[in-house]
Structure 1
Amino acid sequence: MTHNKSKIRQSFSAAAASYDAMARLQKQVAVDLLHQSEMPTSQQTVLDLGCGTGFLTEKLADHVAVENLFALDIALPMLHRARQRPALTRCHHICADAEALPFVNNQFDWIYSSLALQWCSDLSAVFKGVQQCLKASGKLAFATFGPATLKELKTAWKHVDDAVHVNDFYPSDHIEMALQRTGFTSIHLNSRLYTLSYRDVWALMRELKGIGAQHVNGRQSQRLITRKHINQMIAAYPKQFNGDIIASYEIFFVQAQL
C-alpha cells in the first residue's frame, strides 16, 4: 500500500488547529486502547508513535514519569499542539517518520500508537524499527483502521466511477504476518466496529478534512471531480429515517510482545 508522505505531512499539518475539536472517534479509540492494554509502570520508558496533538500521550502521562515519555509525529504543527498541553511540557517531542525511527536500540519498555500506522506504506519496516528500539520483552499496543472503515462512503462513490476515492486499509492477516516476520510473539488482535452519525455527507467530509484524513491511497481518479459527481455520490449514500447518515469505522486493537 503506497502513501505519499509529503501529502500526509501536509494534510496533518494543516489540520493541527482543527484536529482536537473534530477528532471524536480518535479520542474514543485512544481511551479504548488504554482500557484494553496493560498499563506501564511509572519508571518505564514509553513512546507514543504518531502522537498527533498529544491526546493519548497526555493519558499516558498519568501513569509514566514525564521524563520517560516520548511523543513522535511526522507533522511538526501537531507536535507544537502536543507541547502546549500542560502535562506534556517536559515530554520528549520528536518530529520523525514512523518508518524510520530515530532511536537507539533497546530504549523503550512500551510503544503505543493510536490510529497512526494506517498511514505507513510498509508495516514490516515500522515493526522492524519498533522491534529494534524496544527492550527485551518490550510490548507494543496499537489501534489502526480495518478495511470496513467508511464502507458506506466507498459504496456511494461506486455509483459514480471505479476510481479510488476513499482510503484502503490493511486487513488483519497482513498486520499479523508483518508482526510475526519481525519477531513479535503473543500477538492478540481484536476488532470493533464503531458507527458515527452525521447530519449529512458534507458534515462527514468536513470532519475527515478537519482531522487531516482526506489523503487517498491507491488508484485515484484522473478526472476532475465536479459538484455533479459529488452530488451523485451524496444521492447514493444511504440515509437514516431522520435524514442523517452513519459512517462505519472498523478498528483493530493489537497487542504484541517480543
Structure 2
Amino acid sequence: MRGLSRPVLRAGWCGRLWAPPRRALAASPPSPPAATSGALSPFDRRLKRKQKNWAALQAEPAKCDYLREEVGGRIADRVFDITRTFPLALDVGSGRGYIAQHLTKETVEKLVQVDVAENALKNAVETEIPTVKVVADEEFLPFKENTFDLVVSSLSLHWVNDLPKAFKEIHHVLKPDGVFIGAMFGGDTLYELRCSLQLAELEREGGFSPHVSPFTAVADLGHLLSRAGFNTLTVDTDEIQVNYPGLFEVMEDLQGMGESNCSWNRKPLLHRETMLAAAAIYRGQCLREMYGNSDGSVPATFQIYYMIGWKYHESQAKPAQRGSATVSFGDLAKIEGLISRGKK
C-alpha cells in the first residue's frame, strides 16, 4: 500500500479513424437506452456526465486531481515497459489528460482522447503529443476496427453500465498485436467511508442505503478480458491511501474528482445528524477508534486494479500443446536435491 497526502487538433490524420455510420457520433455523446434501477444498468450515465462536467469547470480543477495523476503516471510506466513506439493511441475516459501528461512523443506519436464530458476535454492538460479530442461514451467507441496500436484507460471504466461491452469495443478498435493497459477502482475502495456511513444510518435511521457505487471484483476481470478476446493477460492490484482532515473533506474531494455516486438506487439526501455521526465514527471518536490516525487525520483507501491485455496476432508466442512437457513437476524436487548435493 502506498500513501498520498491531500494537497492543498490536427485534422490531417483524424479522417481515417471514424467507423461506418453504424457507429456514427453525434454532436453530443449518444444517450444510453432508457434505464431503470437494476443490475443491468446500475449507473445514471447522464448524471455522471454532469458530475464530470461540473468538476472540470471549477476554478481550480487540478486541486483534486492528485489521485488521477498518480494512477495516470503508473499507467504511463506500464506503457514505457513495452519497448516499442506506438504510432496511434487511444485514451478511453481520458478526463483532463492524466495519462497523456506522463507520456512522450517518442513513445506515443499521436493520441486520441475520448471522454463523455466535453468540459474535461476542453480543459485538458497540455502535452507534447499531437492529440484529437472526441466526446463519446466508453461503451460506444466511434472508431473503425483495427485502428489503434495502443489503448489506455485510467479510472473511468468502473462507471460504465456494460463492462463486457466496453472491453469488446476496446478490443474491436485495437490492431492485431495491439495492447490495452487500463486501471479502475476495485471493490475495497473507500471501505472506511462506506462502513462509517452505514453504521451512522443504522444508528440514526434504523437502516442504510448504498452511498458508494458497486465495483467489479478482481476475480472477474481476467474472465471478462478473456471473453472480449484479449490474451496474454496480466491483472494486479494496488492500494493508495490518502489522509484527510475528516469525512467532509473526503466527500468534497470525491465531488471535485467527478467521483460522486451516480447509482440509480443512491439515496438523494443524508440527514445532518447522520452525517455528523458518520464523521465521528470515521475520525475514531467512537466505536473503539475504528479508522482515525494518531495525528487526527482519517485515511481513505483506494484499491486500484491494473490490467494488460493483447489482441491476438500470429507473431505472438503461443503456449505449448497440452501434454507436450518433457519434465513433470514431480521431478523438480529431485533436481533441487541434485543441485544441493552439487554445491556441497
Q: Smaller-chain TM-score range?
A: over 0.9
Is it true that 1:101 corresponds to 2:141 in the alignment? yes
CA 1:164/1:218 → structure 2, altered by over 3 Å: closer, same or farther? Answer: farther
Match in the other structure for 2:118: 76
Q: Give the alignment partner of residue 251 of structure 1, picking from 304, 316, 319.
A: 304
In 1, the alpha carbon distance for the partners of 2:248 and 2:85 equals 44
The equivalent position to 2:280 in structure 1, one of 235, 244, 256, is: 235
SS at match of 1:148: coil
Q: Counterpart of 1:252 in structure 2: which amino acid?
A: Y
Give the C-alpha shift of residue 80 in structure 1: 0.2
The answer to whether residue 209 in structure 2 is matched with residue 166 in structure 1 is no
TM-score, scaled relative to structure 1: 0.92
Q: Report whether the alignment pairs 1:153 with 2:193.
A: yes
The answer for the alignment partner of 1:178 in structure 2 is 224
Confirm or deny that 1:45 pairs with 2:65. Answer: no
SS at match of 1:15: helix
Give the aligned partner of residue 136 of structure 1.
Answer: 176
CA 1:59 to 1:146, structure 2 compared with 1: closer, same or farther past 3 Å? same
Decide which structure has greater helix share.
1
List per-residue Cα deviations over 1:69-99 (Å, max 9, x = no partner): 11111000000011x62535x4111000010
| CA deviation profile, 1:158-201 (whole Å, cap 9, x unmatched) | 11132101122111122222111111111101101111100111
Cα distance in 1 for residues equivalent to 2:127 and 2:227: 39
Contact 1:11 1:215 in 2 (8 A): no
Give deviations 1:192-230, integer Å, cap 9, x for gaps: 1111100111111110011111124263236x4221111
Q: Which moved more, 1:169-178 or 1:69-78?
A: 169-178
Deviation at 1:58, TM superposition (A): 2.6
Note the alpha carbon deviations across 1:34-89, whole angstroms, 9 max, x for none: 223434744521011111111212323443455x211111000000011x62535x
Residue range with higher mean Cα deviation, 226-235 or 72-81: 226-235
Q: Structure 2: 5+ residue runs without aligned partners? A: 1-38, 202-206, 283-290, 312-344
The residue that corresponds to 2:78 in the other structure is: 36
Identity of aligned residues (%): 25
Given that 2:244 and 2:298 are in contact with CA atoms closer than 8 Å, whether structure 1 keeps it comes out as yes
Asked if 1:85 is matched to 2:126, the reply is yes
Give ranges in structure 1 of 5+ residues lacking alignment. Answer: none
| 2:94–2:114 contact (8 Å) kept in structure 1 | yes
Counterpart residue type for residue 232 of structure 1: A
- Secondary structure in 2 aligned to 1:9? helix
One-letter amino acid of the counterpart of residue 12, structure 1:
K
After superposition, the Cα gap between the structure-2 partners of 1:200 and 1:98, relative to the gap in structure 1 and judged at 3 Å, is same
Q: Counterparts of 2:222 and 2:184 in 1: how far apart (Å)?
A: 12
CA RMSD of aligned residues (A): 1.8
Q: 1:125 and 1:247 mapped to 2: Cα distance?
A: 31
Larger RCO: 1 or 2 (CA < 8 Å, sep 6+): 1
**TM-score normalised over the length of structure 2:** 0.70
**CA distance, structure 2, for counterparts of residue 141 and residue 43 of structure 1:** 13
Structure index of larger Rg = 2
Q: Deviations over 1:100-146 (max 9, x none)?
A: 00001100010001111111111111011111110011110001100
| Distance in 1 between residues matched to 2:160 and 2:102, nearest whole Å | 24
2:123 match: secondary structure: helix
Partner in structure 2 of residue 15 of structure 1: 55
Count of aligned pairs: 254
